[in-house]
Amino acid sequence: MTENADNIRADVIAALTKLLPRPVALHGDTHIVQDLGLDSLAIMNFMLEIEDRFDISIPLDRAADIATIDDLVQAVASLVKQEKA
């Protein structure tokens, strides 16, 4: 199955929704740490879930540049594309 940005975004939002203690409207420009108030353990578990879901590894230097949902979607899409090449 080809992963496009819309599928990736839907999976990222679904994974985040499971972590949140209350319903929150999530958008591409939602800041994963600042807007959602997740602690470092929750963020780490979330990133591991995303890596497992897409069978990728997000390098630490690249993870440092991920702030919003759209940043994560772009990083995942790029890494998935690299894995398939």
Domain with residue 26: its CATH number is: 1.10.1200.10
Q: Which domain holds residue 53?
A: 5-84
The pTM for the full model equals 0.91
Residue 28 has pLDDT above 80, yes or no: yes
User: How many structural domains does the chain have?
Assistant: 1
Work out the end-to-end distance of the chain between its first and last CA atoms, rounded to an integer number of angstroms. 14
Residue 84 has pLDDT above 60, yes or no: yes
Arithmetic mean of pLDDT over the chain: 92
Band (7; pLDDT cuts 50, 70, 90): very high
